[in-house]
Amino acid sequence: MRLDGILFFPLTPFDAAGAVHEDVLAEHVADGVARGAGAVFAACGTGEFHALDGAEHERVVRTAAAAAAGRVPVFAGAGGPLPHAVACARAAAGAGADGILLMPPYLVAAPEAGLVAYVREVAAATGLPIVVYQRDNARFTPAGAAELARIPTVTGFKDGLGDIELMQRIIPAVHAATDGRDGAAKDFTFFNGLPTAEVSAGAYAAVGARLYSSAAFCFVPEVALAFHRARAAGDDERVRRLLTGFYLPLVRLRNEVPGYAVALVKAGARLRGLDAGGVRPPLADPHPKHLAELELLVSAGLEIAGEGR
């Protein structure tokens, strides 16, 4: 399954009682697809995977798949304890997902062989394509990444570490492991999964990972699309203006408080009129002064993108 364009990681809206608001989620996903998202990654990091129980996870994936209506691929988050990761992967297949984004087994420090075995067990539980998410305690050497790529249903590698030198070594190792000597070459995708990935998109593209996840697309799709198109057209001046006028100040604000990589995005969506609710603990909604800064940033970004408020 070939991925292209902006990778959309929708929020998980909650209603006033704290339950998943499926109608708002369907609106959010449908709008993102209509605006040009290349794929939807539901119940993942921006969608507060960590805060969803099994039944909620399945509802989020089912709602996203229905809203996408086959227009673009829908990937579902899975991860955490192995039984939970397996259950999420199986449920996602039944809910209409086209693939899995496999996140780390949180809080467990493990050798690489154990991490590879973790991926193998999830892969054995579902026939869906799997993108492995390297971040936090799930770190791979080039040899380990190549071993992952030999698992038939592992078709992608998302990096959330930001170690460009490591990625420069991983990508050729994976290509060598999947070069098709015994048949057709495997279609394998790499992408940048750092928070506010637009800031590092150029560096990742230089080593062969041209795709990136865009949290900004959740609340300022106009800005995210303007950036994506400017990069594709080689419009370096517009890229620079969007980085300096919107993305870099957003990163500074994001770094003010742990968890703002999600909380600010959800707050931004509320500012733009999406009834997304707040974040669930242990995340916390932004401080009023930070909300005021975010509102100014949204206006600045839209102005640069040429859309107005």
pLDDT in tens, 194-205: 999 999 999 999
Q: What is the pLDDT of residue 182?
A: 55
Q: What is the pLDDT of residue 308?
A: 44
Residues 174 and 143: beta-carbon distance below 8 Å: no
Residue with tokens 């040899």: 143
Q: Are residues 82 and 99 in the same domain?
A: yes
Domain boundary among 214, 230, 245: 214
What residues are paired with 100 via a beta bridge? 76, 130
Domain boundary among 163, 186, 214: 214
Q: How many structural domains is the chain composed of? A: 2
Q: Are residues 286 and 171 in the same domain?
A: no
Instruction: Flag whether 1 is in a domain.
Output: no
Digit-coded pLDDT (tens) for 259-280: 999 999 999 999 999 999 999 9
Compare 197 and 184 and report the one with higher pLDDT: 197
Residue with tokens 């609106």: 27
Domain boundary among 175, 193, 214: 214
Residue tagged active-site, from 133, 212, 247, 260: 133
Q: Are residues 156 and 260 in the same domain?
A: no
Q: Are residues 249 and 171 in the same domain?
A: no
Q: Are residues 57 and 155 in the same domain?
A: yes
User: How far, in Å, are 68, 183, 201, 259, 265 from residue 148 at the CA level?
Assistant: 29, 18, 24, 29, 32
Closest CA to 37 of 153, 211, 208: 211
pLDDT higher than 60, residue 34: yes
Q: Are residues 26 and 159 in the same domain?
A: yes
Q: What is the mean pLDDT of the chain?
A: 95
Structural domain range at position 252: 221-309
Band the pLDDT of 180: cuts 50, 70, 90. Answer: low
Q: Are residues 167 and 279 in the same domain?
A: no
Token readout for 306 is: 């040429």
Q: What is the pLDDT of residue 257?
A: 97
266 is catalytic: no
Q: What is the pLDDT of residue 1?
A: 66
Burial 216-254 (b: 16+ CB within 10 A, else e): bbbbbbbbbbbbbebbeeeeeebbebbbebbbebbbebb
Q: Are residues 258 and 199 in the same domain?
A: no
Task: Taking residues 304-309, report their average pLDDT.
Answer: 72
Q: Are residues 296 and 192 in the same domain?
A: no
3-class secondary structure for 126-156? CCCCEEEEEECCECCCHHHHHHHHCCCCEEE
289 is catalytic: no
pTM higher than 0.85, yes or no? Answer: yes
Q: What is the pLDDT of residue 213?
A: 96
Task: Taking residues 76-90, report their average pLDDT.
Answer: 97
Residue tagged active-site, from 106, 118, 158, 204: 158
Q: Are residues 177 and 286 in the same domain?
A: no
